[in-house]
Amino acid sequence: MKHQQYRLIIPFLAPALGLYALFVLYPYAQAIYLSLTGWRGTSENKPWVGLDNYHRLWNDDRFTEALSRNGQLLVVLPIVTILISLTFAALFTQGGDGVRGAGFYRVVFFFPQIISAVIVGILWSYIYSPNIGLLNGVLRALGLDSLTRTWLADESTVLWAIAAVSIWASVGFYMVIFLAAMQAIPTSFYEAARLDGASRFRSFRDITFPLIWETMRTAMIYLAISALDFFVLVVVMSQGPNTATARRTEVVSVYLYNQAFDKSRWGYASAIGVVLLLLTLLLSVVIMRLTRREVYEY
């Protein structure tokens, strides 16, 4: 019997494990090796340069600027997204017995999350368009002409205009996970608090918040990872061939892509990839540590 079971285990694991090893694990390992070489262009030759690429990255202004953009996104995206989605989730569950039309709102809010980022990016490029765009149109209709901008062509607004789209698209997703966590809290907790005369704000702060903390940590890690990636929207909305603001939105992933597929600096681009990996891991660990608190079981 024992021996026989391998006749099933091996053929059942082989396709998944084989493809995974070949197309996922091997490239990851290879990237670390390539990052230590000066491989570039069409040459077959991969000269060993040790940590040179990393040293150059450290002094590469374009890279550090790109990194600081990711840094800004890393602060703003999680805070704003969590604030909005948490507010909505709290509004949905207030008092324990939902809001009328909750199902409708939920379906609508979640929708942008599943739409291709390419569509979202193109659509919003036109919404931000100075003349035919909806945003300036709305502002003019409200008499706020002074606020109208050429959003994606203005160096001071372009990155945040794109960040806003990312928030717009993901709020529904985070709202749904917060909602699920909140609905798992027994209503008796709230009833007890109400009998004790606790205000709605207090019962949110002292009951809901601690009990959804684990979900909050997960959300922070997800959002941090998406702030480190942030590729498709930037490429679609501001990296076209005649976009003057392309440099202003160059985040690390875009810089990596350009170094690799425009400049053919394979070794250097791989080093950027390794830095991106280390940052992802480091951030996850830091967030897990900083947000560690007692877990309440119920």
Cα 246 to Cα 77: distance, rounded to the nearest angstrom: 20
Q: How far is CA 207 from CA 89, 98, 187, 197, 210, in A?
A: 14, 17, 11, 14, 6
User: What CA–CA distances, in Å, run from 208 to 109, 172, 194, 204?
Assistant: 22, 19, 13, 5
Task: Report, in Å, the least distance between residue 29 CB and other proteins.
Answer: 8
Minimal distance in Å, beta carbon 271 to other proteins? 10
Least spacing, CB of residue 74 vs other proteins, in Å: 14
Beta bridge partners of 48: 37
The burial class, CB within 10 Å (0-12 / 13-18 / 19+), for 231 is middle
CB of 290 to other proteins, least distance (A): 18
Beta strands in 123-254 (DSSP E): none
> Closest CB to other proteins among 63 and 124?
124
Compare residues 26 and 58 and give the one whose CB is closer to other proteins: 26
Q: Measured from the CB of residue 64, what is the shortest distance to other proteins in angstroms?
A: 18
Q: Which helix (H) or strand (E) holds 287?
A: helix 266-290
Q: Which is nearer to other proteins, 54 or 257 (CB)?
A: 257
CA distance 90 to 99: 10
Smallest gap from residue 291 Cβ to other proteins (A): 15
Of 50 and 103, CB closest to other proteins: 103
Q: Smaller CB distance to other proteins: residue 7 or 293?
A: 7
Length of the chain: 298
Identity of the residue, 108 or 147, whose beta carbon is nearer to other proteins in the bound complex = 108
Residue 180: C-alpha distances to residues 53, 86, 211, 251 (Å): 45, 12, 12, 33
